[in-house]
Each structure stands twice: as structure tokens, then as C-alpha cells.
Amino acid sequence: MKELDLALKTAIFAARLAGGIQRDYTGKNFDVSSKKTRTDLVTEVDIKCEEAIIAAIKEVFPDHGALAEEKGEYAAASGNRRWIIDPLDGTVNFAHGFPMYCSSVAMEADGAVVVGAVYDPVRDEMFHASLGGGAWLNDKPIHVSTTPQLADSLLATGFPYTIRTEVLNNLTQFSAFAMRAQAIRRPGAAALDLCYVASGRLDGFWEFHLKPWDMAAGALIVAEAGGMVSSDLGGSFSVYKPAVVASNRLIHQQMIDTLEEAGRE
């Protein structure tokens, strides 16, 4: 089996494994604590999911490195392969029993994300993609929407955990889009927001202050579904830049223009 195919298979398996842990803990008591702010939570489920994902990857690719939300980074023993892992995206949702969360697993090769899998255990939906292989939902191909105008678009966004102290807290930008788009949603799991753009459920998504594990798998899935992913200023996208704009391509420039106008305000 080719490395890319094996990596995608591993990403799907690991993401689904973490989703199973999330499902097992749903409705049960579990430990919850805060990180740097009261709104930035971590649960014992996050830790268990991350440990399961890393163990599954090491079983197949023992020499690969990883960048994971809870445990941090460990270097590759050889080669230039790194896994980017969000064991439980939407931790606040999960802690409150709000059914919008997922696991996200991606592999980076030579600086480019080449496979990604995002699993929603609530709906049993597996979004996945490999570079040049298209985007899929439960093994059926998906594509971005064909909505041509921002005024007719359904968008999603999120707010930083530091919203009370951050200058760029997205409130001005949210107001600008609220006056221009058909509607905006704030589901609370960036990886799923990106996958919803890829599958045409959303027409666009933007957010600031994200981490690589929030975006890596989802951004690849959007691109492979025919969408566009850029920085908030329309420049090249990188998972190591904290801002992202993702769209069906048709409304992308309209989103960038709105962000630029809001920034001037």
C-alpha cells in the first residue's frame, strides 16, 4: 500500500477511535479543568482521545512526529512526516453536552498537509481527503456549494477564548457579515465548520486565533472539495498562520472585502 493511502487509512481509523471514546463518555461524569482562561477547557476525554490517536499512529508509523493539542510536539525519528492532531475539537460543547464536536487527524509531509480525517461521533460522519484524491463524507464524494453571492450565503465563525481581552475579537467582523450575509452560525468546532463548507452545508467560514490542529484536516478537505482557503487578507493559507477564510470560491473575494472593510472600521 502506498504511503498516502496507508496514512489516510490510519487517520480515519484514529479519528474514529477517538470518536468512540467521546461517544462512550457522553452523558457520564468526567473531569473538567481550565487552561489559560475559564472558557478554554480540557477534559479527561481530550487526554484519552489524544493518547488513543497517538498510539494508533505509532503502531503504523513509529518514526513519525506529531503536533497535538494537549501533549504538544514530539519530533520525527526519521524523515519529514508529522501528524497534526485535535483529539476533541469542541471541548466546551462536549463538556456541556452540546452535540457539536469531533476528532481531527491530519498528516503533514515535507511541510504540506496531505491527508486529513474529521470524525463527528454524534452523527457518525467521517469527512476525509488526501492530496489530489478529492473529499469524501462516509465514502461519498462531496463538493462545495454553488451559492454565488454573499447576500445569499450561510456562514459560520468562532470567537477566541481571549475574547474579553483580545483586540481582534471578531465582534466587529461578525457585525459586518451579519449585515451582508443571509445568516451566520457559531457551532463551536472549527474542524467541523470547515467540513461543512466542504460539503456545501455552509458557503463560507472565517475565524481568527486558531491553532494548526484546528485547521489542518478541515482545510485540506475544503480544498479537495473544490473550495478556497486563504488567510484573512486573501493571501496564502498556512496552518501555522492563526487566521483562515474558507469558502465555495464564488463568495471568497466578497468575504475578503468584508473583512478588509471591517478592519478599517
Percent of the chain beyond pLDDT 90?
82
My answer on whether 94 and 155 are in the same domain is no
My answer on whether 32 and 162 are in the same domain is no
My answer on whether 74 and 197 are in the same domain is no
My answer on whether 230 and 107 are in the same domain is no
Confidence of residue 41 (pLDDT cuts 50, 70, 90): low
My answer on whether 136 and 203 are in the same domain is no
CATH number at residue 47: 3.30.540.10
Here the cell at position 174 is 461578525
My answer on whether 174 and 250 are in the same domain is yes
My answer on whether 7 and 114 are in the same domain is yes
Among 70-74, 153-157, 204-208, which stretch is predicted with the lowest mean pLDDT?
70-74
* 121, 141, 161 - which closes a domain: 141
My answer on whether 89 and 213 are in the same domain is no
C-alpha distance from residue 93 to each of 90, 123, 124, 186, 252 (Å): 5, 15, 17, 11, 28
Position 39 pLDDT exceeds 60: no
* 141, 175, 190 - which closes a domain: 141
The residue among 39, 35, 34, 263 whose CA lies nearest residue 164 is 39
- How far is Cα 250 from Cα 203, in angstroms, rounded to an integer? 9
CATH number at residue 157: 3.40.190.80
- Full domain range(s) for residue 63: 3-141
pLDDT in tens, 124-167: 999 999 999 999 999 899 999 999 999 999 999 999 878 788 87
- How far is Cα 263 from Cα 265, in angstroms, rounded to an integer? 5
The residue among 126, 161, 120 whose CA lies nearest residue 26 is 120
pTM: 0.94
Q: Quick one: CA dihedral 19, 208, 161, 71, positive or negative?
A: positive
Number of domains in the chain: 2
Which residues in 9-163 belong to E strands, given as ranges? 32-34, 41-43, 65-68, 72-74, 81-89, 102-109, 112-120, 125-130, 135-137, 140-141, 154-157
Cβ atoms of 259 and 173 closer than 8 Å: yes
My answer on whether 92 and 52 are in the same domain is yes
My answer on whether 99 and 203 are in the same domain is no
Average pLDDT of the segment spanning 102-131: 97
Position 237 pLDDT exceeds 90: yes
Helix (H, G, I), strand (E, B) or coil at 109: strand
My answer on whether 76 and 169 are in the same domain is no
**Which pairing describes strands 204-207 and 154-157: parallel, antiparallel, or unpaired?**
parallel
My answer on whether 159 and 31 are in the same domain is no
Q: Which of the two residues, 224 and 38, has the higher pLDDT score?
A: 224
* 78, 111, 141 - which closes a domain: 141
- How far is Cα 128 from Cα 109, in angstroms, rounded to an integer? 17
